[in-house]
Amino acid sequence: MRAAVIQAPNAQDPAAAVRFVTDWPDPTAPTTGQVLIRTRCSALNHLDLWMAKGMMGAHIKYPAISGSDACGVVEAVGPGVDAAWVGRRVIVNAAVDVDDVPRPDDPPEIETPNFRMIGEHFAGMHAELFLAPAANLATVADTCGDEHAAAFALSHLTAYSMMVGKAGLRPGQSVLITGIGGGVALAALLLAKYLGCFAIVTSRSQAKLDLARGLGADAGVLDDGTDWFKQIRTLTSKRGVDLAVDSSGKATHLNAVRSLCRGGVYASCGATSGPDATTDLTRLFWMQLRFVGSTMANNSEFHQVAALLNNGAITPVLDQVFKADRFADGARRLASAEQFGKVVIDWR
């Protein structure tokens, strides 16, 4: 089968680590609870770059196939899976809960599942065929194209679980979103506007701020590396925002924390600019803030957010679509940080 294969890590040029091949072995037949999916489109995430850079740890065995976002058609099912899945167009929750067997000393409810990722711990979706648990599938409405469906699951599920499930965002509140242009940041903006929230976005690019205003952002702040939190407080009549959504980390953390209102929530799902951020503990306790970390989400939240795709409430923002044999160009586009929306790979 055709596949985008990471041959060996390349920390300086992750796109150069990937080779498009036409003779990669097909996956094995699906086992109990699994399905085999023929990929129509897949989408790139920063996880793909980290895999290609060799940042994910010793558990990765190269050559490897990454990919945690795709839209495809179910070709075969394993034992215990309803045959009605065959022929259905689906998206996939790439987070597989591998710790769902109760142990005698566990509390009654575990709110933090132990996830393993398709595209990291298991062979990924940047290939013509891949395996996934049937429990992690959601069907795609006929009104949604393959490109938009492929661009949806990982980033929008991450934003939904972080903002609604963990931070408790409610309609009408105010939201700060740093680094607009990336997949999760744009998903957060679309979700905030769906909930009727006042949304402020930041970027180092004025062009990206202008594009975000076209998507409904109420205000944009140019991140010039100074204390831009003062602008956030001015925009909110000195109150601050209820929620700061930050996937950048070190470069934006302190400004985001200082932008929060009393009782506000700082929510993080990544640290692309570095993990060793400087914070403000005095503000944390005096303003009674909450810091929330979020990684992926369970299948219940996946089906909730998939409904927003299928009923047209949220449509992912696309940057560029590349044919599969130009996978490396797509990876370079993502690595450049110039994209505004999701970079999609077409396998059709």
Digit-coded pLDDT (tens) for 208-218: 999 999 999 99
Q: Which two tokens stand for residue 106?
A: 């566990």
Q: The domain that contains 115 carries what CATH number? A: 3.90.180.10
Three-state DSSP state, 292? strand
Residues 268 and 171 in one domain: yes
Q: Is 59 left (phi over 0), alpha (psi -120 to 50) or beta?
A: alpha
| 50 C-beta neighbours (distance < 10 Å), count | 18
Q: Output the pLDDT for position 212.
A: 97
| 31 C-beta neighbours (distance < 10 Å), count | 12
Q: Phi then psi for 174, rounded to 5 degrees? A: -110, 145
What is the overall mean pLDDT for the chain? 94
**pLDDT greater than 60 at residue 110:** no
Angle at 278 between CA 198 and CA 240, to 5 degrees: 20
In a domain, 304, yes or no: no
Q: Output the pLDDT for position 168.
A: 96
Residues 124 and 35 in one domain: yes
Residues 262 and 277 in one domain: yes
Residues 14 and 144 in one domain: yes
Sign of CA dihedral 31, 35, 38, 39: negative
Q: The domain that contains 229 carries what CATH number? A: 3.40.50.720
pTM, rounded to two decimals: 0.92
- For 17-33, write each residue's pLDDT tens digit: 999 999 999 999 999 99
Taking residues 162-166, what's their average pLDDT? 95
Residues 246 and 270 in one domain: yes
Residues 46 and 88 in one domain: yes
**pLDDT greater than 70 at residue 53:** yes
Q: What is the tally of structural domains in the chain?
A: 2
Determine contact, residues 48/334, Cβ cutoff 8 Å.
yes
